[in-house]
């Protein structure tokens, strides 16, 4: 799933500064499941914005709503009436949802209330881990189902590097302690699978043009296009 984190409140205030009718628009799919931007969180942010405006003595109307999915046109029709009434829409969806709103309702001002951060999985309740970077050419068939692109700090295709110690990566920051070395995990699982020889295979440099380095990507399924 796509995960996101709410932006700092001060930054949100700056984004809506000068507007008197604000719509906080949640999305009830990925960002709701990661407890950041669903209807519940939209209502909380709307309440905070109203309280802040009142504390500052400003007259501001703040409403909230949520689309089932902000990233699909059909669902945006359902919140169009509320969007119409607002001066600015503070979207709590992922970057895709926010852009769908900005495009559908252009030139309405649509601004982000969250930072979209990863394609992650919930490891346990309220903890998400990055699992995929949408590189466009998946290699995990050879790496024991472990993604070297996002789980190796250096995105090495031929790991591990010399910084792998006791199963841990040498990269450590205050926020990221104790990162498992992806290539250590790959080695352990390849051994368990009896496929150690894959560790010795030399992989050529990855073709990043299939990733975001190749410009905006587009996917078309001719067989499924409406006739």
Partner 1 sequence: MADDFEPEIIVFACHYCAYAAADLAGSMRLQYPSTIRMIKLPCTGKLEVIHLLRALEAGADGVYAAGCLEGECHYLKGNLWARKRVEHVKRLLPEVGLEPERVEMYNMSSAQGPEFARVATEFTERIKALGPNPLRRHGVSPHAAAREAARDVALPDEAPAGAAAPAPAAEAPAQAPTEKGPAA
Binding partner selected for residue 97 from ligand SF4, partner 1, none, CB under the kind-specific 5 to 8 Å limit? none
Task: Write down the least CB distance from residue 220 to ligand SF4, Å.
Answer: 19
Rule CB under 8 A: is residue 40 a binding residue for partner 1? Answer: yes
**Residue among 52 and 122 whose Cβ is closer to ligand SF4:** 122
Rule CB under 6 A: is residue 206 a binding residue for ligand SF4? Answer: no
Site string for ligand SF4, 175-204 (x = CB under 6 A): ------xxx---------------------
Task: Write down the least CB distance from residue 209 to ligand SF4, Å.
Answer: 14
**Residue among 126 and 220 whose Cβ is closer to partner 1:** 126
Binding partner selected for residue 170 from partner 1, ligand SF4, none, CB under the kind-specific 5 to 8 Å limit? ligand SF4
Rule CB under 8 A: is residue 209 a binding residue for partner 1? Answer: no
Q: What is the 3-state secondary structure (H, E, C) of the chain?
A: CEEEEECCHHHHHHHCCCCCEEEEEEECCHHHHCCCCCHHHHHHHHHHHHHHHHHCCCCCEEEEEEECCCCCHHHHHCCHHHHHHCCEEEECCCHHHHHHHHHHCCCCEEEECEEEEEEEEEEECCEEEEEECCCCCCCCCCCCCCCHHHHCCCCCCCCCCCCCECCECCCCCCCCCCCECHHHHHHHHHHHHCCCHHHHCCCCCCCHHHCHHHCCCCCCCHHHCCC
**Residue among 38 and 160 whose Cβ is closer to partner 1:** 38
Rule CB under 8 A: is residue 14 a binding residue for partner 1? Answer: no
Rule CB under 6 A: is residue 170 a binding residue for ligand SF4? Answer: yes
Site for ligand SF4 in 105-144 (CB under 6 A): 132-135, 138-140
The residue whose Cβ lies closest to ligand SF4 is 169
Q: Which residues bind to partner 1, rule: CB under 8 A?
A: 9-10, 40, 43-44, 47-48, 50-52, 54-56
């Amino acid at each position: 799933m796509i995960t996101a984190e709410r932006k700092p409140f001060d930054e949100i205030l700056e984004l809506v500064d000068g507007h008197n009718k604000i719509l906080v628009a949640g999305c009830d799919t990925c960002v709701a499941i990661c407890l950041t931007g669903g209807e519940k969180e939209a209502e909380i942010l709307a309440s905070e914005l109203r309280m802040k405006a009142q504390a500052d003595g400003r007259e501001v109307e703040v409403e909230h709503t949520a689309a089932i999915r902000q990233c699909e046109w059909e669902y945006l029709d359902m919140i169009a009436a509320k969007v119409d009434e607002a001066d600015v829409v503070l979207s709590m969806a992922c970057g895709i949802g926010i852009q769908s709103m900005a495009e559908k309702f252009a030139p309405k001002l649509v601004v982000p209330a969250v930072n979209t951060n990863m394609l992650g999985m919930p490891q346990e309740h309220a903890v998400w881990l990055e699992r995929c970077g949408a590189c466009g050419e998946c290699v995990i068939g050879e790496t024991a189902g472990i993604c070297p692109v996002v789980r190796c700090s250096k995105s090495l295709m031929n790991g591990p590097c010399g910084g792998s110690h006791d199963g841990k990566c040498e990269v450590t920051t205050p926020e990221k302690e104790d990162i498992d070395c992806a290539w250590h995990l790959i080695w352990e699982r390849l051994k368990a699978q009896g496929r150690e020889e894959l560790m010795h295979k030399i992989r050529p440099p990855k073709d990043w043009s299939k990733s975001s380095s190749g410009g905006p990507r587009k996917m078309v399924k001719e067989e499924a296009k409406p006739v």
